[in-house]
C-alpha cells in the first residue's frame, strides 16, 4: 500500500482544494490498463493517424515499479479492426526510443525495501495484456512485441485490396531494433511486406536500426531474388553443401525463372535470400584472383552496375508446349468448385505478394507412408517435413520427383527431373578458369561433332545399356504397384538396369555429375575419332537413331505404364512446339498470352485433400524439368514496387547501409529528398556512381539533405564482409582486407598531414555541391582533435556557396576552432544551426562567434554533453545578436555568463530549454535566484516567451514564484520547477497559479 508523508497536524482550513500529492504507482490511483483498454475499444479501421509520442508513452515512468504504456497490446486491436475492411490509416508514427528494449532477464527483479509499500503490477499487466490482446497476437510489451505486431499487420492481416493504399508515413525509428529484427531472413521479409503493402508510402523511417543494404533491397522489388537471380551463382545440387556453383544459364533448368506450366508461374517464388551489392572492381578482382572459388565466394553478391540495370532487365520464361499433360485420374473426379485452382482466391500468408489471378490453391494431404511411396526413410521424412529457410517462399504441390535413373520400379517413384545435354557441353565447371578464345573454339568443334540433341541422347542411352548389360539377365523383383509391373514387363530386355556387378550390391544412381561424366567421355571419343580418321558422312535420307522409349520416358519423368493421355500428349507435342515463339516478347503481350493459356490450357493439380503424388499419378507434377530447355525473354517487366514512385524520405541514418547501395537509391527513387541524418557514406556513394560508365555528369536536383564525415578511412572503404568466415577462406579475407586498404582513398583523423586533410575536404565538398545543387540541409562531422584549420582557411568551404538553398547546418566537431571558417563562409545563410562539441571548449568566445557570423538564425541547438557552455565576461549588449532567434536549446550545463548573454540578446525568443545554470565548474546547483531574474528582465522583458524549461529551477521564495508568473505574460508551458517552500506558502502559490491557469498556462512542478 502507499502511505502519504503529509503532516497530519496541519490545520485543515489552510489546505487548498487542489492538494499536490506524489503520484501513487498502484492501480488504484494510476488507472493502469485503462488507457490501453480505451484505446482498444475505440480502435477501428476508420482511424487515420496513430501517433505514439514520448510524452504519452512515458507518462507513467516517473516512479519505480510504475506500469509503462503497453504499445504492442494497442497495436493488436489495430490488427483486428483492419482485417477484412478498407484501411483508412495514413500515418503510423513512433517517437524516438519510446518503447523499452528487449529484456535480457525474463524474471523481473524483486522490489527493494524502499519500494515495499508499493504494489508491483507487472504480473497483473501481463495477464491483462494476454487476455485483452486481439486474436492471441500479443507477444511481449517491449520492442519485440512491436516487431511481431508489425509483421502480422503487413503479412497476415488482409484489408480489402490486400494493401494499405492510404498509408503515406511510417515512422518506426529504433523502436523495432531487437534480436529478431537483426536476423537477415526476418528483416528481408519484413521490408518486402512493407514495400508491397504500402504503394503510396512517402516517408519511411528506420533511423538507428540494424538495417542492412542486402535486406533493404527487398523494400523496392516485388520479388527481389527473382529479379536479381540472373546475376547470381547457384549450387549444382542444393541438397549437397559441397556442390559446385555455376552462374545463371539459360541452357539449364532454373527454379527461379518463369515456367509456363507452373500454377504459380515460378517454382520457388519470393525467396527470402538477401543479396549483397559490391563494387564492380571488387567483384571483378575476386573472379580474376580466385577463378576456382569465385562462384562460391560471390554466391549471394551482385555488382553495383548489375543492380542498377536489373530494374530494366528482361526476365526469362521456360517455353513449354501449349497442351500440358492432363491427369485424367485426378481431373475426372474433380468437382466444379475445385476444377480450376487458379480461380480460387488464396489469402494465405505466403500468397500475400501475389496477384489475385496468380494465386493457387494449396494442397492439403495426409502424410505419406512407406507403403504408399516406396521411398527410403530419409526421403520420406523430408517429404513430410515442412519447407524452411531460403527458398521456402512457396510450398510445392506434391512431391518433386528425383532425377535418379533406376529401373527397379519397386523403389522408384517416377522420374521428373532431366538435364539438358547442351547445357553440360556449353558451361565450364565452376572450379575452372574463365573460358578463353581457345576454349570457345573447342566448344564449336564439339557442337559440330554432335549436330542434334537426339543423336546425343541415343549415344548416351547406348552407353547406359552397355554399362549395365551384365546384369540385364538377372530376374527383377516383383512390386506391389501394378503400374510399375506393367512398365517393367513392357520394356523387356531393352530396359536399362542400374544393378551393378555381382560383387557390388549398391545400385548405380544417375546424377547430374554422372551424366556430365558420361557425356564428357562420349565427347572425348568423338574428338579422338575426328583426329585419327575422317568421319563417314551420313546419308540425308537416313534418319538418326531414335533413343529407346524407356529412356525417353525417364527424361520426361514417366517411369510406369504409358496411359492414353501420355500417348496423346506425345502425338500433339510436335505440333505445339511448332507454334511456340521463343523470341523476345513484351510484357503487355505476355499478359495477354498468359490469360489465353490460363483460359484454354490451365495448369492442373490433383484434387484437394486426396492422397496424391508420384506413387499414384504420373502427371501429378506437370512442371518437371523438360528434355529440351528453351527460354524466351519478357521485356518491360515490372520489377519495382509502386512505393518507389512516391518515396520522398527514406531515413536510414545511423544504420548499416553502405555506400555500395546508394547509387541504386539515387537513380531509382525519382522523388527522393532525404536519406536521413548521419548516413556518412553518401559521399562514397556519389563517388561510386560517378565512376560508373555513363554517369560521369550525374546531377541530382531533388536531394535536399546530405551527410558527410571527414573520416574516410571508416566510411569510404570497399565492403569485404561477403567473404565466408570459415577457416578455408582465412587467407582470402586477409587478401581482401589488403585490397580494400589499397583501393580506398584514406585520410583518417589520425593523419598529421593537415594540408592533405584540407584538400580532401575541399574536394569532397565540391563534389557534394556540384552533384546536389539544391541541398537545404548539410550534416558535417569533423573528427580532427588537433587544430588543422583557422578562420583564414575559408577556401576549404567556399564550394558550399554553390548551394543557394542552404538554410540548415548540423555539426559534430571535436574542436570548435576547425569550423570557425565554415561559419564565416555560410553563417549568413543559415536559419537553423546545431552544434555538438565533444571536447572542452575555450574561454566562451565560441558562442560570440556564432552570434556574430550567423545573424539570421531562427533555431539554435547546442550540445555539450557533460561539459559546461561558457560565456565571455563581456556580454556585448551594445550589439544586435540573435535578433531573429525564436528557439534555443542547450543540452548540458551552461555558465551564468553564457545564460545572461543568451537571455539579453534573444529579444524574440519563444522557446527555451537549457540545463543547469552554474557559476563554476565545481558546483552542480542552479544559481538562478530572484535577484538574477530581476536584472535579466531589465535587459529583456521576454514578452514573446511561450515555453520555459530550465533544469531544476528551484523556487526558494514565494515572491520569486509569483514574480516569474507575473512577468511572463505569454507563457504557455513550463516544467522542472521545484518548490522549496513551507506548506502555507505552497497553498498561496497554488491559489495564484489557479488564477494564471485560466490564461492557458500548464506548469509542471514538484515540492521538495
- Residues 849-905: tens digit of each pLDDT: 999 999 999 999 999 888 889 888 888 888 999 999 999 999 999 999 999 999 999
Q: Which residues partner with 709 through β-bridges? A: 781
When mean pLDDT is compared over 374-388, 450-464, 567-581, 896-910, the highest value belongs to 896-910
Instruction: With a cut of 60, say whether residue 706 has pLDDT above it.
Output: yes
Over residues 472-488, the mean pLDDT reads: 39
Higher local confidence (pLDDT), 450 or 842: 842
From residue 398, give the alpha-carbon distance in Å to each of 301, 438, 607, 624.
Answer: 32, 46, 11, 12
Higher local confidence (pLDDT), 446 or 708: 708
DSSP label of 774: T
Over residues 316-341, the mean pLDDT reads: 57
Over residues 400-419, the mean pLDDT reads: 33
Query: Given this model, what pLDDT does residue 750 score?
Result: 55
- The separation between CA 399 and the C-alpha centre of its own chain, rounded to angstroms, equals 32
Cell numbers representing residue 544 in the block? 538418326
Report residue 511's pLDDT band, with 50, 70 and 90 as the boundaries. low
Over residues 22-44, the mean pLDDT reads: 67
Instruction: With a cut of 50, say whether residue 158 has pLDDT above it.
Output: yes
Least confident segment among 34-38, 330-334, 551-555, 691-695: 551-555
C-alpha to C-alpha distance for 303 and 242, rounded to whole angstroms:
25
- The separation between CA 274 and the C-alpha centre of its own chain, rounded to angstroms, equals 9
Instruction: With a cut of 80, say whether residue 277 has pLDDT above it.
Output: yes
Instruction: With a cut of 50, say whether residue 14 has pLDDT above it.
Output: no
5 burial class (0-12, 13-18, 19+ CB within 10 angstroms)? exposed
C-alpha to C-alpha distance for 711 and 814, rounded to whole angstroms:
12
Indicate whether this model's pTM tops 0.75.
no
Query: Given this model, what pLDDT does residue 831 score?
Result: 96
Q: Are 194 and 154 in contact (CB under 8 A)?
A: yes
Query: Given this model, what pLDDT does residue 63 score?
Result: 52
Higher local confidence (pLDDT), 518 or 918: 918
C-alpha to C-alpha distance for 240 and 441, rounded to whole angstroms:
33
272 Cβ contact list (under 8 Å, min separation 6): 185, 188, 189, 192, 225, 390, 392, 393
Query: Given this model, what pLDDT does residue 120 score?
Result: 55
Query: Given this model, what pLDDT does residue 480 score?
Result: 37
Least confident segment among 75-89, 453-467, 538-552: 538-552
Higher local confidence (pLDDT), 652 or 30: 652
In SS3 terms, 141-197 reads as: CCHHHHHHHHHHHHHCCCCCCCCCCCCCEEECHHHHCCHHHHCHHHHHHHHHHHHHH
H or E element: which one contains 381? helix 377-384
Query: Given this model, what pLDDT does residue 387 score?
Result: 39
Report residue 140's pLDDT band, with 50, 70 and 90 as the boundaries. confident
Mean pLDDT of the chain: 74
Query: Given this model, what pLDDT does residue 689 score?
Result: 96
The tens digit of pLDDT for each residue in 202-248 reads 999 999 999 999 999 999 999 999 999 999 998 877 666 677 888 99
Least confident segment among 59-68, 273-282, 339-348: 339-348
Least confident segment among 280-284, 603-607, 667-671, 971-975: 603-607
Instruction: With a cut of 80, say whether residue 516 has pLDDT above it.
Output: no
Q: Are 105 and 140 in contact (CB under 8 A)?
A: no
Query: Given this model, what pLDDT does residue 349 score?
Result: 32
Least confident segment among 234-243, 656-665, 678-687, 742-751: 742-751
Cell numbers representing residue 419 in the block? 538435364
Cell numbers representing residue 603 in the block? 495448369
Query: Given this model, what pLDDT does residue 748 score?
Result: 54
When mean pLDDT is compared over 44-48, 271-275, 307-311, 511-515, the highest value belongs to 307-311
The tens digit of pLDDT for each residue in 667-685 reads 999 999 999 999 999 999 9
C-alpha to C-alpha distance for 149 and 131, rounded to whole angstroms:
16
Query: Given this model, what pLDDT does residue 760 score?
Result: 92
Higher local confidence (pLDDT), 538 or 300: 300
Over residues 311-331, the mean pLDDT reads: 74
C-alpha to C-alpha distance for 944 and 907, rounded to whole angstroms:
8
Amino acid at each position: 500500500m502507499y502511505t502519504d508523508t503529509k503532516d497530519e497536524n496541519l490545520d485543515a482550513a489552510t489546505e487548498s482544494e487542489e492538494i499536490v500529492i506524489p503520484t501513487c504507482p498502484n492501480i488504484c490511483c494510476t488507472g493502469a490498463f485503462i488507457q490501453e483498454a480505451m484505446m482498444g475499444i475505440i480502435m477501428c479501421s476508420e482511424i487515420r493517424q496513430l501517433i505514439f509520442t514520448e510524452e504519452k508513452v512515458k507518462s507513467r515512468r516517473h516512479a519505480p515499479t510504475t506500469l509503462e504504456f503497453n504499445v504492442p497490446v494497442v497495436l493488436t486491436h489495430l490488427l483486428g479492426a483492419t482485417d477484412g475492411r478498407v484501411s483508412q490509416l495514413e500515418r503510423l508514427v513512433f517517437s524516438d526510443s519510446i518503447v523499452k528494449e528487449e529484456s535480457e532477464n525474463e524474471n523481473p527483479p524483486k522490489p527493494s525495501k524502499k519500494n515495499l509499500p508499493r504494489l508491483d503490477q507487472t504480473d497483473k499487466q501481463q495477464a491483462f495484456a494476454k487476455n485483452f490482446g486481439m486474436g492471441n497476437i500479443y507477444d511481449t510489451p517491449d520492442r519485440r512485441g512491436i516487431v511481431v505486431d508489425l509483421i502480422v499487420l503487413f503479412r497476415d492481416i488482409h484489408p480489402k485490396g490486400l494493401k494499405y493504399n492510404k498509408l503515406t508515413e511510417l515512422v518506426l525509428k529504433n523502436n523495432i531494433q531487437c534480436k529478431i529484427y537483426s536476423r537477415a531472413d526476418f528483416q528481408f521479409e519484413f521490408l518486402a511486406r512493407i514495400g508491397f503493402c504500402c504503394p503510396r508510402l512517402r516517408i519511411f523511417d528506420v533511423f538507428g536500426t540494424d538495417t542492412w543494404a542486402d535486406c533493404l533491397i527487398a523494400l523496392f522489388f516485388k520479388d527481389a531474388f527473382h529479379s536479381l537471380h540472373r546475376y547470381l551463382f547457384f549450387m549444382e545440387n542444393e541438397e549437397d553443401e559441397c556442390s559446385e556453383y555455376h552462374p545463371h544459364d539459360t541452357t539449364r533448368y532454373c527454379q527461379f525463372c518463369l515456367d509456363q506450366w507452373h500454377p504459380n508461374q515460378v517454382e520457388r517464388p519470393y525467396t527470402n535470400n538477401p543479396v549483397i551489392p559490391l563494387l564492380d572492381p571488387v567483384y571483378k578482382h575476386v573472379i580474376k584472383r580466385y577463378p576456382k572459388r569465385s562462384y562460391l565466394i560471390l554466391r549471394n553478391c551482385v555488382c553495383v552496375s548489375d543492380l542498377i540495370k536489373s530494374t530494366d532487365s528482361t526476365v526469362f520464361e521456360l517455353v513449354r508446349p501449349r497442351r500440358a499433360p492432363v491427369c485424367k485420374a485426378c481431373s475426372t473426379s474433380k468437382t466444379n468448385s475445385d476444377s480450376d485452382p487458379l480461380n480460387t482466391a488464396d489469402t494465405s500468408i505466403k500468397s500475400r505478394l501475389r496477384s489475385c489471378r496468380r494465386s493457387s490453391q494449396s494442397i492439403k494431404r495426409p502424410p505419406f507412408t512407406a507403403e504408399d511411396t516406396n521411398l527410403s526413410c530419409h526421403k520420406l521424412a523430408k517429404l513430410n517435413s515442412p519447407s524452411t529457410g531460403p527458398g521456402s517462399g512457396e510450398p510445392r504441390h506434391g512431391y518433386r520427383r528425383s532425377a535418379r535413373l533406376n529401373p527397379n520400379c519397386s523403389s522408384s517413384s517416377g522420374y521428373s527431373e532431366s538435364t539438358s545435354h547442351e547445357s553440360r557441353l556449353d558451361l565450364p565447371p565452376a572450379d575452372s578458369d574463365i573460358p578463353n578464345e581457345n576454349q570457345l573454339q573447342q566448344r564449336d568443334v564439339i557442337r559440330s561433332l554432335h549436330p542434334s540433341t537426339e543423336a546425343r541422347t541415343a549415344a548416351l542411352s547406348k552407353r547406359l545399356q552397355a554399362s549395365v548389360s551384365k546384369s540385364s539377365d538377372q530376374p527383377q523383383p516383383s512390386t506391389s504397384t501394378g503400374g510399375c509391373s506393367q512398365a517393367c514387363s513392357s520394356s523387356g530386355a531393352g530396359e536399362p538396369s542400374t544393378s551393378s556387378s555381382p560383387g557390388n550390391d549398391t545400385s548405380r544412381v544417375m546424377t547430374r555429375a554422372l551424366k556430365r561424366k558420361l557425356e564428357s567421355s562420349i565427347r572425348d571419343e568423338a574428338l579422338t575419332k575426328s583426329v585419327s580418321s575422317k568421319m563417314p558422312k551420313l546419308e540425308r535420307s537416313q534418319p538418326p537413331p531414335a533413343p529407346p522409349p524407356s529412356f525417353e520416358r525417364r527424361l520426361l519423368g514417366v517411369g510406369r505404364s504409358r496411359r492414353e493421355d501420355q500417348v496423346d500428349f506425345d502425338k500433339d507435342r510436335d505440333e505445339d512446339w511448332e507454334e511456340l515463339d521463343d523470341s523476345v516478347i513484351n510484357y503487355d503481350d505476355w499478359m495477354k498470352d498468359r490469360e489465353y493459356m490460363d483460359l484454354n490450357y490451365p495448369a492442373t493439380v490433383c484434387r484437394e485433400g486426396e492422397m496424391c503424388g508420384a506413387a499414384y499419378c504420373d502427371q501429378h507434377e506437370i512442371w518437371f524439368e523438360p528434355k529440351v530447355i528453351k527460354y524466351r525473354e519478357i521485356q518491360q517487366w515490372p520489377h519495382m514496387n509502386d512505393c518507389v514512385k512516391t518515396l520522398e524520405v527514406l531515413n536510414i541514418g545511423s544504420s548499416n547501409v553502405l555506400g555500395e547501395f546508394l547509387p541504386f537509391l539515387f537513380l531509382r527513387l525519382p522523388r527522393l529528398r532525404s536519406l536521413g541524418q548521419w548516413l556518412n557514406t553518401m559521399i562514397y556513394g556519389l563517388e561510386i556512381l560517378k565512376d560508373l560508365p555513363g554517369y560521369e555528369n550525374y546531377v541530382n536536383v531533388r536531394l535536399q539533405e546530405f551527410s558527410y564525415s571527414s573520416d574516410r578511412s571508416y566510411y569510404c572503404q570497399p565492403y569485404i564482409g561477403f567473404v565466408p568466415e570459415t577457416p578455408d577462406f582465412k587467407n582470402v579475407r586477409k587478401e581482401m582486407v589488403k585490397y580494400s586498404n589499397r583501393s580506398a582513398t584514406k585520410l583518417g583523423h589520425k593523419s598529421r598531414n593537415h594540408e592533405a586533410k584540407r584538400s580532401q575536404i575541399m574536394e569532397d565538398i565540391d563534389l557534394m555541391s556540384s552533384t546536389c545543387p539544391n541541398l537545404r540541409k548539410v550534416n558535417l562531422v569533423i573528427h580532427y582533435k588537433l587544430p588543422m584549420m583557422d578562420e583564414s582557411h575559408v577556401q576549404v568551404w567556399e564550394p558550399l556557396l554553390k548551394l543557394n538553398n542552404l538554410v540548415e547546418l548540423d555539426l559534430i566537431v571535436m574542436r570548435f576552432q576547425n569550423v570557425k571558417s565554415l561559419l564565416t563562409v555560410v553563417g549568413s545563410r543559415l536559419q537553423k544551426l546545431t552544434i555538438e562539441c565533444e571536447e572542452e571548449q575555450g574561454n566562451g568566445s565560441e558562442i560570440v562567434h556564432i552570434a556574430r557570423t550567423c545573424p539570421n538564425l531562427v533555431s539554435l541547438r547546442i550540445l555539450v554533453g557533460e561539459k559546461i557552455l561558457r560565456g565571455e565576461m563581456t556580454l556585448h549588449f551594445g550589439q544586435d545578436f540573435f535578433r531573429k532567434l525564436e528557439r534555443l536549446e542547450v543540452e548540458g550545463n551552461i555558465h551564468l555568463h553564457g545564460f545572461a548573454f543568451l537571455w539579453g540578446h534573444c529579444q524574440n525568443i519563444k522557446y527555451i530549454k537549457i540545463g543547469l545554470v552554474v557559476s563554476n565548474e565545481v558546483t552542480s546547483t542552479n544559481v538562478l535566484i530572484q535577484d538574477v531574474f530581476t536584472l535579466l528582465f531589465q535587459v529583456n522583458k521576454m514578452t514573446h516567451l511561450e515555453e520555459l524549461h530550465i533544469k531544476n529551477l528551484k523556487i526558494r521564495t514565494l515572491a520569486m514564484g509569483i514574480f516569474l508568473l507575473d512577468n511572463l505574460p505569454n507563457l504557455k508551458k513550463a516544467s522542472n520547477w521545484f518548490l522549496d517552500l513551507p506548506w502555507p506558502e505552497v497553498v498561496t502559490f497554488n491559489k495564484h497559479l489557479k488564477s494564471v491557469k485560466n490564461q492557458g498556462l500548464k506548469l509542471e512542478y514538484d515540492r521538495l
